[in-house]
Structures are given as structure tokens and as C-alpha cells.
Structure 1
Amino acid sequence: MASASTSALLHATVSAPGAKSAQPSDIEEKRHHNKHGKGFVNPWDSYIERSAPQLIRAMAWRAITGKSKSPDTTPPTVSVHKPVFLPSRKTEQLRATWLGHACYHVEFPGGLRVLFDPVFTPRCSPFSFMGPKRYTDVPCDVDNIPFIDCVIISHNHYDHLSHPTILKIAAKHKNVHFFVPLGNKQWFTKCGIHNVTELDWWEEQEIKLSSSQPSTEPSKHTSDSSNASVSASSTSQPDITATIGCLPCQHTSARTPFDKGHTLWSSWSVTSGNKKIWFGGDTGYRSVPELPASEFDYADKHAHLPVCPAFKQIGELRGPFDLGLIPIGAYDPRWIMSPMHANPYDSVNIFADTRCRRAMGIHWGTWVLTEEDVLEPPRLLKEAAKWRGLEEGAFGTCEIGESREF
């Protein structure tokens, strides 16, 4: 097996303003930047802001009134397999391996290897002794992954950004490069990690893996005027190029009770080897009021509820995508979670809006974060796909550790 530590240079260059991919006409307004405080906001009517105390009170009241549910995690739940990664960079297909929750390892034709939102710890928590604990095993360790060129982080919640995992990746894959939303670079720097690029929504960066010296010619993909050269893992082979794009989603961020929204959250696009994927990370789609449990919130009488317009913009301006990695879990109780987390009916609409040809469901099957049954998301996804009229197999799920080719 080729060593992941075999080094070559990943040339990350950022062009001067002028030559950009398609962007929204109002991009200069930066409506998602908080004009009245620190950090960032969701600038759409589809989002309802609730503070941490409001959420805690709502969940506590559900417990007091007996409305809350505790999902049964007794095995069997989601099957876990030891993943099989390609031993070299040779592949003609786009190959994606689910490693639990929002983590996917994607192998692109041409050789690029990308890891999304890796969390390989027993708990998604700042503590090793408390917080949500896995009900499905970690399918592998960082040491089992032969190639990681880029790690892409959607936001800084603990089920998406793990301090122990990031340190292991940086130690094992010394030339890996991290891509993060705006404001998150400082966290990595404090960890002693400097191969980091942070981007704002609609910015993108071209990267190049090569065994030769870095080119001084700037790429033509972002609005930033700076140039940077960084390192990533590779083997001796022709150059690998990719474009990494930071895109909107409807969510929030926090590592403590005191820093909500201080750093940006995002979805991402990656284009390499004539394949393009969209990674949804963690997102809501619309905010749903409290309704009777039996009431379908996509019924005609709720058609007036605003939906997040960013996904149609992504599809129109940056799509279509060969593969979407789209969240489908952590949505119940719906009226509390819907601004931040999509349910499968939201997910199939996001799939259509972003113009994905195929998709796999993420953000489920690993930790109990909300109240739906742990196996409900894939069941509900099948119903939602039929409701939306998707072709059979267009949007599905797989078992943890399983790989699919596209």
C-alpha cells in the first residue's frame, strides 16, 4: 500500500478579483455577516433564531409534560463494516465511503482524496466522560486511511469538528490541508496546525497536488488577492487539481455557551477529475411551527412557509453535481429543530434545489442528538423520495463503512 506520508506540494493559489465562478448578484452586501455584533447570521425568512436558553426551556418543558421521547439504541441498529479504501490513487469512478454521521471519505478520479467532517471519538462532546455517546462503533481509525489530501469542515459543532480527531489526522497525514468556513482558522492555529484555508460563502480556491515545485501563476477562482503555497499528501503521478468552494447553508455555530454564531457555517463543493460533489454538512431548510404530531407540515395549508433560497442559488450558479451528501437526521421535535436540521422531506427538496444527480444521506446513525427513532431517517427518506417523485435509487443511504461508486 502506498504511504499517505509520501509528500508532494499542494499549491493553493488565490486569484486577483475578476475571474470568478457564478455568484449571486447581491454578494457584496454580505447579508450573512452580523452588522450589529460579532460573527454571522442566517439572512433568510426561513430561519427562526432561538437562543440556547430558549432551546433548553423548550426541551425541559417537553420532558416535564411527558412529550419527550428517548430513542431506543439497543442493537441491532445501523450495521458497521470495516471500510475498504483503495490502495492507490487509481480509480475511474467517484467513490464515497460513509464513516458515520456527517463523515465521508471521497476518492475522486484522478487521485484527490477528501475527508469531510471527521469525528472518530466515542463522544461528540468537549468531554471524554459525558455528552452524546456513539451507539454505533467507529468503523476505522485515522491510521487506516491511506490518503487524506484535504479535510473539509462544515462548522465547529462537536459532532462535526473533533479536537482529538483533527490532531490525529495532522500527525499521521502531515501534509494534509484543511478547509474551513470564515473565522475557524484561529482554532486550528491554536492547535498548532497551519495548513488551513478559511473561506467565506461563494468563495472558492483551486488547489494543485504535484511532485514539482509550486507554480507562481495565480488561479482564477476567488475574489481574494493573496497567494499561498501549502502541502498535502500525494504519490508520484501526474498533477492533481481541484476546486474547493465554500457555499451557504442554514445553520449556526458554537463551541461554548458564549460564542454562538461567532464563526461561519457552510456547505461545500469539490470539483476534481471531471466529477463534482456538494457536501451539505448540517442545515435546515424551513422553520415549521408546532403542529399536531399527525399533521404533515408539507400539506398545502403550510405552503406559505418560506424555504431557504440559498440551495436554488447553489444549483443554478454552481450545479449540477454528480453527488450530494445531504443531511437527513436530527430533526425531532420538528418545530424546535427545523430551522437548523433538515428532515428527509426537506432533504429531497434540497436535493432538487441543488441539482444533484445522486445523493447519499448523512447526519444520522451515530449519536442520539434528537428524539426521532434512530432508524427513522432512512425509512422516511424512502417515503419522501416517492413524494418528491425522485427516480428509484437517486437518493439513498448505506451502512457505515460501506463504499458506493458514482
Structure 2
Amino acid sequence: MEETKASHLTKPRFENGRYENPWDTWIWPPVSRMLRWFLLDKNNSSIPSERILNTSLPIMEINHEELKTPPSTGVRILWIGHASTLVQFDGISVLTDPVFSDRCGLYSKFGPKRYRPSPITVDLLPKIDAVVISHNHYDHLDQSSVRDLNGRFGDNLKWFVPKGNQSWFDNIGCKNVQAMTWWEESKLSVNGNDITFACTPGQHWSNRGLFDRCKTLWSSWVIKGPSHNFFFGGDTGYCSVFKEIGETYGPFTAAAIPIGAYLPRDCLYCQHVDPDEAVQIHKDVKSRSSIGIHWGTFILTNEHYLDPPLRLKQALKTQEMKEDAFITLRHGEAKIFYNESTID
């Protein structure tokens, strides 16, 4: 593992055993405001019946035979739901923040419940070479899914995680784990190709309990092969670092960028981008094509469940960008993106 050469790139702060966001765009929302939201203002985002959901947010049938082999050219992205995707290019297959469980929480019967089921199970996945984890919140790091993936693929599966998460994976029984800080790189040889995994920044936070807030790092990820380059935004608020990522690793053939879980804005603007800011990230990192993630799966915040893709289209129109530059996929839908630029 090696660190990138540029010493001026933004590093995380680590003080008194906890990580801190280094940007002036970060501020913790007042506790009183957060309590008011959780206790009084939080709603269920008007989730309709399953009959209506099957039309408005359908689960697509997956071509499992096609997934057995990464595309000969281009980046194939399959949206599993929320921040979980299957990404295939340059001979490698990678999962991002895999969550296959019905709920994301401390216990299997508590926490937000999926209103759209996973279109695929661990048993039906193709061979997976690596997993990238953005942070340890339950909707991004699911113990049951990690155990199932480790049980099926074992030491042949490489886990890339932010600093501080190594012991959690050790306790689960995962052996092939690489914990990294921002701007560190690690190479993985797959099918004759050297693939670079770079841990890159994001503006967020971490915790899994009452007393471990920010004791582990959070991140976005860059996956770079000989022909293609992919960016995974994880979970983040907007800040200046995405321009650094674009200058250091861009342009990208494709990116997966969060577009949901953004209302109420005064509580969440620091930690979750809205669709307008997601489009700005797309431009900052110099992505040729992007898909919107972090929506349509769990009820986490107050926006209507179909609002993120609608606002994304409006943001593209407002910024005079092509509508196909940044799209959303249906659960289980896969699309291949190529190096032809769609940046206006």
C-alpha cells in the first residue's frame, strides 16, 4: 500500500481518538433540532402499497448469465438498492456497501425496513473479487450481509474499508481486509489486470453505538483499471474535496453518487447531498456518466420516495446538462457506460 504523491491533498483530522471533517462546510446540527425532527417531524415519506410500488419502482429481472463475466469494454453497474451496487469492468467485479437484509439496524427486527426488496441474494451473485465500504452506519455496513459474503467467498474476497474498521471485520471472521486512510492506494491483481483502489474523502461521520461516534473513518472510493475508472461517492455532504478527487483521479468512465435522504435540509445538508449538489459532484469529479444511489430502498428522511430522481432531472435541466449524463436505475437494472464523454 502506498500514499499518493501529492502532499497538499486534504487529510482527515484525528484528535482525542476521533476523526473530524476538515472543511468549514461541516457543522453538527443542534441536538435540539435533531430531537425535534426525530420525535415530531419525521414522516414515512408516503410509501404506497406494494401494488403501486411494483409500477412506480419495479424490481427488474436480472440476467445472471451476463453477470458471470465483466464486459469486454465499458463499466457495467447494477443497482441493488440504496448504496449497494455491483460494478464490473476491466475483468473485476466489485460490490459497494452491500446490504441485502430486510432491515438496516442493530438487530434484524429493528431499524428501517426495506420497502423495495433486494433484486439479488448473495447466493446468486457472480464471483466477487472485492468490496468497498464507505463507513459503518447500518444502512451501509450490514453484519448479516458481510457474514454471508464471507461465508460464500472467504479469503478470495478482498475488503477495502476506511481506517478504524479493521477490528470489526476481524471479529466477523473476514481475513482479507485492507483498512486505509484518505488518498492511500492499494493494488489488486485480477484476471491479469492490476486494479488500483484509492480511499478518497467524503464529508460525513460514523458510529454504530452510543459512544463510538467518529472513532472510525468514512470515505468515498476510486477504482482504477487499465481502461476504465470508477468513482463511488458513498454517503456525503457537499464540500470542496470533490474537485480534488477530480483533479487527482478524473475523468471517470462512470460514478455512483448519492441523491437521496436530504430532507429536512437544515438537519442534513452537511452529511447528505441533495440532487443539485449531486450533479455538482458529478461535474467536480469529472464523471462522464453517473447513476444516482442512496434512495428508493429505506425510509430514512422526509422527502417523497420518488422525489430524488425527479429533482435530479430538474437539476440537470437547470444546469443545462444532458439528461443521460446522470441517470437513475431501477432495482436490479444494469447498464454499461463507456468512455465517450457526456460532460457538457
Unaligned stretches of 5+ in structure 1?
Answer: 1-13, 210-237, 286-307
Query: Is 1:346 paired with 2:265?
Result: no
Q: How does 1:3-402 map to 2 (within 5 A)?
A: 14-15=1-2, 21=4, 23-25=6-8, 30=11, 32-35=12-15, 37-50=16-29, 53-54=31-32, 56-60=34-38, 63=40, 68-74=42-48, 75=50, 76-77=52-53, 78-85=57-64, 86-89=67-70, 91-109=72-90, 111-174=91-154, 175-209=156-190, 238-285=191-238, 308-402=239-333
Give distance in 2, aligned partners of 1:105 and 1:96: 6
Q: TM-score, normalised by structure 2?
A: 0.91
Report the Cα distance in structure 1 between the residues aligned to 2:17 and 2:34, rounded to whole angstroms. Answer: 23
Using the alignment, how far apart are the partners of 1:89 and 1:377 within structure 2? 29
Question: Contact (CA 8 Å) 2:104, 2:110: kept in 1 or not?
Answer: no
Secondary structure of 2:20's partner? coil
The answer for the alignment partner of 1:293 in structure 2 is none
Q: Is the 8 A contact 2:42 2:301 kept in 1?
A: no
CA distance in 2, matches of 1:154, 1:26: 19
Rg comparison, structure with higher value: 1
Paired amino acid for 1:335? D
Bigger share in strand: 2
Deviation at residue 24 of structure 1 after TM alignment: 4.9
- Residue in 1 that maps onto 2:342: none
**What is the DSSP-based 3-state SS (H/G/I as helix, E as strand, rest coil) of the residue aligned with 1:164?**
helix
Tell me the TM-score normalized by structure 1.
0.78
- Which moves more between the two structures, 89-98 or 152-161? 89-98
Alpha-carbon distance in 1 for matches of 2:313, 2:142:
31
How many angstroms does 1:351 deviate by?
Answer: 0.8
Does the 8 Å contact 1:72/1:373 carry over to 2? yes
Secondary structure class of the residue paired with 1:34: strand
Residue 56 of structure 1 and its aligned partner are, at CA, apart by 4.0
**Secondary structure of the equivalent of 1:151?**
strand
The answer on whether the counterparts of 1:94 and 1:107 sit within 8 Å (CA) in structure 2 is yes
Does the aligned pair in 2 maintain the 1:39–1:262 contact within 8 Å? yes
Amino acid at match of 2:150: A
- Does the aligned pair in 2 maintain the 1:83–1:97 contact within 8 Å? no
Cα distance per residue 1:229-253 (max 9 Å; x no partner): xxxxxxxxx5132000000000000
Partner of 1:99, secondary structure, is strand
Distance in 2 (alpha carbons) for counterparts of 1:374 and 1:128:
23
- Structure with higher RCO (Cα < 8 A, 6+ apart): 1
Aligned partners of 2:34 and 2:321: how far apart in 1? 37
Q: Distance in 2 between matches of 1:84 and 1:157?
A: 30
* 1-structure distance, mates of 2:164, 2:183: 15
2: CA distance between counterparts of 1:26 and 1:107? 28
Identity of aligned residues (%): 39
* Residue identity in the other structure for 1:168: D
Do the aligned residues in 2 keep the contact of 1:24 with 1:313 (CA within 8 Å)?
no
Deviation at 1:392, TM superposition (A): 2.4
Give the Cα separation in 2 of the matches to 1:43 and 1:90.
39
Number of matched residues? 329
8 Å contact kept, 2:71–2:89: no
- Structure 1 residue 314: deviation in Å? 0.7
The alignment yields a C-alpha RMSD, in angstroms, of: 1.6
Q: 1:60 to 1:197 in 2, by over 3 A?
A: closer
Partner-residue secondary structure (3-state), 2:36: helix
Measured in 1, the distance between the counterparts of 2:82 and 2:283 equals 22
- Correspondence for 1:226: none
Amino acid aligned to 2:45: P
Amino acid across the alignment from 2:101: T
Mapped partners of 2:4, 2:34: distance in 1 = 41
The verdict on how the C-alpha distance between 1:68 and 1:89 changes in structure 2, with shifts beyond 3 A counting, is closer
Q: Secondary structure of 1:405's partner?
A: strand
Change (3 A) 1:249 1:60: closer
Secondary structure of 2:231's partner? Answer: strand
- The structure whose residues are more often helix, as a share, is 2
Q: Determine helix, strand or coil for the equivalent of 1:79.
A: coil
